[in-house]
Structure formats: structure tokens, C-alpha cells
């Protein structure tokens, strides 16, 4: 069999992505091979093929972090009980070595997570990165609790939507932040208690209004850049700013004076802080699995593309039109 995979041979935009046939891989020690049914797309992949990710592609390079499928082969030292199991991948591996976007993917067994039977493969490809990222930040780092106010910039992203669901589940107030009013109603329908439209409203004034003058105790931000000063101004006394991305693409100043006056914490964070700790990863997977199984958490799919439409799928991802996860269905 010659499975089809996605690779790129030069850096640049999604137009460089190619569907190619390659020889089927056999999993090595500690690895499994998945027959892929669906793939969830991530911003990290876009940054990667543009050549701006912290890991530089070795060309030609595969890409992809999140897929759902069925385990069809296992390597040495892997429990054969995995054979035939439905599972999805948890990011935390090299795309150079383990790119997953294609009809098959070989990955380390430790990055697999079983998913509840009530989820479709498309939904399953949209769970682990977003829910574990938000879980680690809000629950483990932020200690979110009932009565908290949580500010969530870029709230229409899949991680942002997961953060809304986690904040609600913990009894906190989820304040979704979005640039334009086009996504306001959908964010409210998807669980946000309040929405701040940052291009049209005074963020600090609106957050103070929503919180009764207290400010947001937790701010969960993937944007960074100069806007961190505004987020700090909208934070509560003793609040925490959790920075998990750099979408602004600009230098990020440290809000020194505001941090001193308010006793703020500014914390860098990635999901690797969860996945690299076996105990934290196990606890996080159970937390997410249980809430997916009973319906408290529902992954939001923005749009599903056919495998042949991979270029269009990443172009749509880069357009910022989506609310939720962009998914590719793999035949």
C-alpha cells in the first residue's frame, strides 16, 4: 500500500503543501501506526511551514499534530491491546519526525489518548491540544475557582472555546475577547458569559464594568505583543496573566509598573508543561475525557474539508474566519 501524506518542499504559504504517495511505515520501538480518519489543524503548523516555528523544518517535511484514527500496528515494547483501538494524538512531538497529516501516521504510543465513544473522529481530532492546553493553564496554573473572572483573548479559537467551557465548569465567569463584533453572538451561544469586542470597545472599562471594578483574576492570552499592557490594566489585584502564544508577532513588553502596583504574575506557558509530566498528563486526560463523555464539554468544529482540499483548509485557517476547529476528513 502507498498511503497518501501531506508534505512541503519549500517554506512559505499553504500553497506549497502537496499530497504525495509514500511507502507505508512500520512502527519502531515504542511507536504505533494509526489509520487516520480525521485531522485537526493548528496554528503551530502554519507557523511551521512558514519557517517561523521554534523547530525548523528539514525539507521535505511532513506536518501535523492532531489526528484521530484506529491503531493498526504496534512496535516493539508496545502493549498489543492498543491494536484496533480508536485514539487521538496529543501534541508534544516533532513534526519533522512524526508529522501526522495523511492517511497514516506513526507516533510514539505515549502521545495517544483514547476518546469517548460518543465522539466522531472529526470531534476527536479537536480535543487534546485545546482542552489540555486550557486545562493546564486555568486549572493547574491559574487555580480557577467559583467566582473568578477569566478573560480569554482570541476566544473564537479552539483553545479559547475550551477555556470558556472549563471556566464555566469550574463556576467562573468566562469573558470572551474578540476583535470584531462578527463573532459576538456565536461566542455567547457557545457559552461565554460576556463578550468584549476589543476593536470597538475600551477593554479595561468593559472588564471593570463586567467584574464590578475588580478586574479579571485570570487572563489567558495567546496574542502577547504590546497589548499585554492593556490586559494588565484590566487584571485584578493579585491577578495572573498566562501567556501561551505570540500571535501578535511583535515584541512583548513586561508591564512592570502595573505588575508592581497590582502584584500581578505574568507566566509563560505551553501544553508541554502538562504533557511532559506523566502524573499531570494522566490527571488532565481523565478530567477532559470524563467531561467529554458526559456532555459537559463539546468540541466545536468550525468547518470540515476533504483531504484533497488541504491547501484550502489551511488558507481558511489563516483567514481567521473560523469559530472553533478546522478539520480535514481523511478517507
Mean pLDDT (the chain) is: 96
Model confidence over 46-87: pLDDT tens digits?
999 999 888 999 999 999 999 999 999 999 999 999 999 999
**pLDDT at 303 (0 to 100):** 97
**pLDDT at 54 (0 to 100):** 84
Region 95-102 average pLDDT: 95
> Quick one: cell of 126?
479537536
**pLDDT at 331 (0 to 100):** 84
**pLDDT at 92 (0 to 100):** 84
Query: With 80 as the cut, is the pLDDT of residue 1 above it?
Result: no
Percent of the chain with pLDDT over 70: 100
**pLDDT at 212 (0 to 100):** 98
Cβ of 278: how many Cβ atoms within 10 Å?
9
Q: Which of 221, 141, 156, 217 is nearest to 191 (CA)?
A: 156
CATH architecture of 129-272: Alpha-Beta Complex (3.90)
**pLDDT at 247 (0 to 100):** 87
Host H or E run for residue 285: helix 278-293
Query: With 90 as the cut, is the pLDDT of residue 109 above it?
Result: yes
Region 143-172 average pLDDT: 97
Look at residue 219 and give its three-state secondary structure.
Answer: strand
CATH architecture of 4-127+299-329: Alpha-Beta Complex (3.90)
Output the DSSP codes for 26-70: PP-TTEEEEEEEEEE--HHHHHHHTT-SSS---SSEE--SEEEEE
**pLDDT at 22 (0 to 100):** 96
pLDDT band at 281 (very low <50, low <70, confident <90, very high): very high
pTM for the model: 0.93
Query: Could you give the residue range(s) of every CATH 3.90.180.10 domain in the chain?
Result: 4-127+299-329, 129-272
Region 241-248 average pLDDT: 93
> Could you tell me where the DSSP H helices lie in 136-277?
158-169, 184-189, 203-210, 228-233, 256-262, 272-275
**pLDDT at 254 (0 to 100):** 97
Quote the CA–CA distance of 242 and 183 in Å, as a whole number.
Answer: 23
Whole-Å CA distances, 283 to 127, 135, 311: 15, 10, 36
Model confidence over 188-229: pLDDT tens digits?
999 999 999 999 999 999 999 999 999 999 999 999 999 999
Query: With 90 as the cut, is the pLDDT of residue 249 above it?
Result: no
> Quick one: cell of 60?
521535505
Amino acid at each position: 500500500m502507498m498511503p497518501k501524506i501531506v508534505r512541503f518542499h519549500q517554506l512559505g504559504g499553504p500553497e506549497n503543501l502537496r499530497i504525495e504517495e509514500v511507502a507505508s511505515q512500520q512502527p519502531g520501538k515504542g511507536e504505533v501506526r494509526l489509520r487516520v480518519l480525521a485531522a485537526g489543524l493548528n496554528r503551530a503548523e502554519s507557523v511551521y511551514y512558514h519557517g517561523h516555528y521554534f523547530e525548523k523544518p528539514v525539507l521535505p517535511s511532513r506536518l501535523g499534530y492532531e489526528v484521530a484514527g484506529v491503531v493498526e500496528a504496534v512496535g516493539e515494547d508496545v502493549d498489543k491491546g492498543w491494536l484496533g483501538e480508536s485514539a487521538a494524538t496529543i501534541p508534544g512531538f516533532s513534526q519533522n519526525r512524526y508529522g501526522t497529516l495523511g492517511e497514516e501516521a506513526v507516533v510514539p504510543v505515549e502521545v495517544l489518548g483514547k476518546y469517548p465513544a460518543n465522539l466522531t473522529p472529526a470531534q476527536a481530532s479537536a480535543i487534546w491540544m485545546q482542552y489540555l492546553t486550557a486545562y493546564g493553564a486555568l486549572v493547574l496554573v491559574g487555580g480557577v475557582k467559583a467566582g473568578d473572572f477569566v478573560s480569554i483573548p482570541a476566544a473564537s479559537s479552539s483553545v479559547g472555546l475550551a477555556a470558556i467551557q472549563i471556566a464555566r465548569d469550574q463556576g467562573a465567569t468566562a469573558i470572551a475577547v474578540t476583535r470584531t463584533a462578527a463573532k459576538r453572538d456565536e461566542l455567547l451561544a457557545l457559552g461565554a458569559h460576556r463578550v468584549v469586542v476589543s476593536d470597538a470597545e475600551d477593554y479595561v472599562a468593559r472588564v471593570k464594568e463586567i467584574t464590578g471594578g475588580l478586574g479579571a483574576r485570570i487572563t489567558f492570552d495567546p496574542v502577547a505583543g504590546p497589548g499585554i499592557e492593556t490586559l494588565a490594566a484590566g487584571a485584578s489585584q493579585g491577578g495572573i496573566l498566562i501567556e501561551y502564544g505570540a500571535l501578535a508577532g511583535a515584541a512583548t513588553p513586561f508591564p512592570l509598573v502595573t505588575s508592581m502596583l497590582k502584584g500581578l504574575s505574568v507566566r509563560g506557558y505551553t501544553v508541554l508543561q502538562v504533557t511532559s509530566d506523566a502524573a499531570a498528563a494522566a490527571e488532565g486526560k481523565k478530567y477532559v475525557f470524563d467531561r467529554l463523555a458526559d456532555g459537559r464539554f463539546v468540541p466545536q468544529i468550525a468547518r470540515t474539508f476533504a483531504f484533497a482540499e488541504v491547501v484550502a483548509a489551511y488558507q481558511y485557517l489563516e483567514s481567521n474566519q473560523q469559530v472553533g476547529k478546522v478539520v480535514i476528513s481523511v478517507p
